Amino acid sequence: MKQMTCAQMGGPADCTVMLSGNTAEELVKDGMGHVTQAHPEMAANIKKMTPEQTTKWMEDFKPKFDALPEM
């Protein structure tokens, strides 16, 4: 299991809510659940992303996930 704060995932810099997952996909899913509840404007922007933008975002995100320490 790996953990990342909302801010580390690209959320507001002062949001320290911890998100967790066993894979990058799980962590993103947990993050989306939190963003939908806590930052609805951000969730709306994410939902407007094109499939290409989403793929690019995941490509950037995966190395960050891999670099996290295992909890």
* Segment lying near Zn ion (by CB under 5 A), choices 4-12, 22-30, 50-58, 59-67: 4-12
**Which two structure tokens, joined as six digits, stand for 28?**
């993103």
**Which two structure tokens, joined as six digits, stand for 2?**
């790996």
Q: Between 9 and 48, how does the x/- string for binding to Zn ion read (CB under 5 A)?
A: --x---x-x--------------------x----------
Minimum Å gap between C-beta 52 and Zn ion is 25
Q: Which is nearer to Zn ion, 33 or 55 (CB)?
A: 33
* DSSP code, position 3: E
Q: 24: which residues sit within 8 A by CB, 6+ positions away?
A: 58, 61, 62, 65, 66
